[in-house]
Amino acid sequence: MKVQDKYYRTVWMEDGVVKLINQPLLPDKFEIYSSKDYQQTAQAIKTMIVRGAGAIGAAAGYALAQAFFADEDRKKAAEVIKNTRPTAQNLFYAVERVLKANDKEEALKIAIQIADEDAEACKKIGEFGESLIEHGAKILTHCNAGWLAFVDWGTALSPIYRAIRKGKEVFVYVNETRPRLQGARLTAWELSQEKVPHAIIADNAAGYYMKKQEINFVITGADRIALNGDTANKIGTYTKSVLAKENNIPFYIAAPTSTIDFHCPSGEHIPIEERDEKEVLEVRGVRLSPQESRAKNPAFDVTPHEYIKGIITEKGIFTPDQIKDLATD
């Protein structure tokens, strides 16, 4: 990612300190958060200082490496890290890989490999996905599945960035993504940095623009993919998939194979994180609802495989029913 002409990754490690782009401060302020131990890094994941499937996976790997270097109980540290966010498969994937390390040097090496692999996978997703984007495409995306959600490039936005670099004209409709507004705050900020033409729309306006034929392609990320091709992503994704199917618009998921849970048979088995009701009742600390009102706040929903035209991975583009075959690759 380039910010003010300087290259950044979303998460990296320097001298035992995990460095994170502090995402809740965006777009108002760009700041690097420094986490000195695995407890702080785990808390940064939990409070969404770092968020997005690949980014929290890399952060989780670095966090467990921190536990190795501090000579902490690695199994206890692994449980603390895994308990931060229950839905994103990349987090569990990273923890289990680093947990197999024999010593601190190997733990750090594996954590760095996970981050590098994430960045390279997202670059390849862009290369494969760009072929689906026609010149003049009008694309809808939901939540943030760009650089900020991964170590670099992102998933849903990676094909868009690639298309722009190849000279294609693209316009992006950015769902605001209530309640945390990751689309309005983060995706719009990324697209602004890249000078990609875009407009933020209210989440419930997507159907309006689809019906008017002003959207002809939908692409989102995923936080966990089941073996049957069902995918969990930010709450509201399922709604957009239904609207896309009703309006004959192709709906694609973009995600690295590390997001596939090869032990999860279907979306019914994906755990859905329930977050603090204040995220719904308040906006940046300002209460919008009656004091007597309560809220429900599921962070994710599941899109059934029959609504998905294809899943773009670093290994190519697959139909949902081909996902299970990747388990043997």
Residue 179, preceding peptide bond in cis (omega within 30° of 0): yes
Amino acid at 168: K
19 DSSP β-pair partners: 12, 34
Question: Do residues 6 and 143 share a domain?
Answer: no
Q: Which of 98, 123, 148 is the last residue of a domain?
A: 123
Is 190 within 8 Å of 160 (Cβ atoms)?
Answer: no
CATH assignment of the domain containing 64: 1.20.120.420
How high is the pLDDT of residue 313? 98
Q: Where are the alpha helices (DSSP H) in 181-251?
A: 182, 188-193, 206-211, 237-246
DSSP codes of every residue in 130-168: HTTPPTTEEEEE-S--SGGGSSSS-SSSHHHHHHHHTT-
Q: pLDDT grade, residue 37 (50/70/90)?
A: very high
Active-site annotation, residues: 223
**Residue 193: which domain range?**
131-328
Mind listing the pLDDT tens digit for each residue in 128-164? Answer: 999 999 999 999 999 999 999 999 999 999 999 999 9
Q: Coil, strand, or helix at residue 217?
A: strand
Is 94 within 8 Å of 57 (Cβ atoms)?
Answer: yes
Residue among 263, 180, 175 at smallest CA distance from 221: 175
Question: Do residues 98 and 148 share a domain?
Answer: no
Question: Do residues 166 and 281 share a domain?
Answer: yes
What does the pLDDT average to over 190-215? 97
Cα separation, 283 vs 253, whole angstroms: 29
Residue among 25, 14, 48 at smallest CA distance from 275: 48
Residue among 10, 243, 242 at smallest CA distance from 115: 10
Q: Coil, strand, or helix at residue 60?
A: helix
Is 52 within 8 Å of 90 (Cβ atoms)?
Answer: no
Neighbours of 82 (CB within 10 A): 18
CATH assignment of the domain containing 287: 3.40.50.10470
Q: Coil, strand, or helix at residue 283?
A: strand
What does the pLDDT average to over 101-105? 97
Cα separation, 122 vs 138, whole angstroms: 22
Question: Do residues 110 and 183 share a domain?
Answer: no
Q: Which of 93, 123, 153 is the last residue of a domain?
A: 123
How high is the pLDDT of residue 4? 78
Is 91 within 8 Å of 126 (Cβ atoms)?
Answer: no
How high is the pLDDT of residue 327? 73
Question: Do residues 116 and 190 share a domain?
Answer: no
Question: Do residues 184 and 112 share a domain?
Answer: no
How high is the pLDDT of residue 52? 96
Beta strands in the chain (DSSP E): 2-3, 6-7, 11-14, 17-21, 32-35, 137-141, 170-175, 198-201, 217-220, 224-225, 231-234, 251-254, 282-283, 286-287, 300-303, 310-313, 316-318
How high is the pLDDT of residue 5? 78
Q: How many domains does the chain contain in total?
A: 2
Q: pLDDT grade, residue 110 (50/70/90)?
A: very high
Non-local CB neighbours of 102 within 8 Å, separated by 6+ positions? none
Whether the per-residue pLDDT at 254 is higher than 80: the answer is yes
Question: Do residues 169 and 197 share a domain?
Answer: yes
What does the pLDDT average to over 295-317? 98
How high is the pLDDT of residue 168? 97
Question: Do residues 263 and 237 share a domain?
Answer: yes
How high is the pLDDT of residue 6? 87
Q: Which of 85, 107, 123 is the last residue of a domain?
A: 123
Question: Do residues 105 and 143 share a domain?
Answer: no
264 token code pair:
């999860």
Q: pLDDT grade, residue 328 (50/70/90)?
A: low
Question: Do residues 224 and 77 share a domain?
Answer: no
Question: Do residues 154 and 81 share a domain?
Answer: no
Mean pLDDT estimate for the chain: 96
Question: Do residues 44 and 172 share a domain?
Answer: no
